[in-house]
Amino acid sequence: MKDFAGRVALITGAAHGFGKEFVKQAAQRGMKIAAVDIMEDALNEIAPLAEELGAEKILLFPCDVTEYDQVKCVVSKVLEEFGQIDLLMNNAGVATFGPVWAVPPLEYEWIIDTNLKSHIYFMHEVIPVMMKQGTHCNIVNTCSAAGTFTSKSAAAYQASKFGALALTESVYFDLIEAGADIHMSAYCPGFIQTHLDHSEEYKQDKYTVEDAYYGSPIHKAMQGAAQYLIKTGRPIDEAGPVVFKAIEDDQLYIITHEHYDKYIQLRCENMLARKNPEAVAIDHNIKQQ
């Protein structure tokens, strides 16, 4: 997509982190914005910012993206208001860390429903709309570097992100075969100063369960590690320009933390050599030079 002005962007997870940065970039390009988030109070705060930055119009849609009926309703309302959808940014995401035998299974449902199934729901509803428009459109799925290689104590999060990346690649091929003028992008950043370490604030009641894991030493240790890695990550304002440049270039893989390349390569080499994976000490937060 080269010309953004007057076109419609639907952005999930829009109230914080990457989503908020994407709203700012879309606004600066004069787009119409459908901002979606479960946190209604925080969502309300971004409208004046978007208007100040130049958005042609912004509408807010409180929504639980893990509920397919709510997703369908949002897409329907966006079409009623704007008549089209040109850019879909599936960005809503949550995280929990810890070993599979300790983390409650309901946490996996929460993470997979949010990080993976919501992408499916929105693409299922939006892609037919984009196909009918017959104009060049883009879809960006936030997949994370955690979808490109594995590390310890991140099974739930990485399972969701590997799934999101595989989903994006597969849809990319399907759209080509269908002759659709819709380009896919997978945003795969490392640690950036987002709001991911506060995921518990977004947790719905349906995913809440009493379990000894919460408050346990391992849970506290995992929370502390996540907070450190997010706090010391790259500045959040790097994200928007990089992603929107990739949209302009119809770039599939948006891999921003180059020092992770060696871990991606090692994983692929081990697989092709039929070797067991190696445990490595991952340098998470090397600052970009």
Q: Which residues are catalytic?
A: 157
**Cα–Cα distance between 251 and 244 in angstroms, integer?**
10
Q: Residues 14, 165, 219, CA angle at the centre, nearest 5°?
A: 70
Q: For 191-251, give the DSSP string.
A: -BS-SGGGGGGG--GGG----TTTTSHHHHHHHHHHHHHHHTSB-GGGHHHHHHHHHHTT-
> How many residues are listed for the chain in this entry?
289
Cβ pair 86, 8 in contact under 8 A? yes
184: Cβ contacts below 8 Å, ≥ 6 apart = 138, 139, 140, 141, 168, 169, 171, 172, 175, 252
Phi/psi of residue 15, nearest 5 degrees: -85, -20
- Tokens 């982190």, located at residue: 17
**Cα–Cα distance between 278 and 195 in angstroms, integer?**
30
Cβ pair 32, 7 in contact under 8 A? yes
**Cα–Cα distance between 289 and 284 in angstroms, integer?**
15
